[in-house]
Amino acid sequence: MVSAWARNNGVVLAQEKVAGKSNEIKAIPKLLKILEIAGCIVTIDAMGCQKKIAKKILKQKADYVLALKKNHKTLYKNVESFFEECSKNSFENVSYESHTETEKGHGRTETRQYYITNDLTQIETKEEWAGLKSIGMTISEREIKGVVTTQVRYHLCSIEPNALKYADAVRGHWAIENSAELVEKSTNFQFVRFFYQVQRLHWILDVVFHEDSQRNRKDNSPENMAIIRHTALNLMKNDPSVNLSMRQMKKKLEWDHDYAMSLIFGDILP
């Protein structure tokens, strides 16, 4: 399933069934078509870093921050070489913005550096990407028990080179794994994230809803049940009346019929 996740609201907006990973690119335009994304920033993993998808996002009056990986060999090399040269020369004669943040907790320290620039002179195919205004680099350095690991990620962006906005988009893309923590840190920007079998949501669906143990396989049954589980999750996540974990809330729903009905029907019930 390819799904669209509203970062600020913490809910699944829509989903599209695909036959396999090779077809997930075809599912994203279908999802975009049924969503009202005007004014939002759409973030997608490298699978969705496609020219047609970028064009469609712009057509629907939204912006994009697309993860760039080596499946776009030449483009990736252009961006990588550009930022490597900038880093060596301390971004001399290059217009850019940067932002750094550090988080500590659970025995680890993580520092993230964000760089974004509208200097596209080294991008050979920049004219082929609709609305491309900037490129970004994120350097994540994580230290756990004295062991330091570093990861560098690059992005194609239709947003202006605003470091805070870029940082919020990149950080917010992973809000589905750490939604409570990251949404609190978000600004007023609205985000829609597209993902494929994403980790945190899939973990909740498996552990709380036992999705992986379900045996329904015939016809539309798997897709229909996935929709029902996502709908239930959306309702549970947006109930402000209780302060319970997903497991606890599910148990409360199973035991308390009146609460279950009130969650589903809200003010409709007398």
| Model confidence pLDDT, tens digit, residues 97-154 | 999 999 887 788 999 999 999 999 999 999 999 999 999 999 999 998 889 999 999 9
Can you give the pLDDT at residue 171?
87
- By C-alpha distance, which of 141, 162, 199, 186 is closest to 65? 162
Which residues sit opposite 172 in a β-bridge? none
The model carries a pTM of 0.71
Query: What is the distance of C-alpha 187 from the center of its chain?
Result: 15
Tens-digit pLDDT profile for residues 148-204 = 999 999 999 999 999 999 999 998 876 554 443 333 344 445 556 554 434 345 556
Can you give the pLDDT at residue 210?
73
- By C-alpha distance, which of 119, 115, 130, 112 is closest to 166? 115
Inform me whether the pLDDT recorded for 260 exceeds 80. Answer: yes
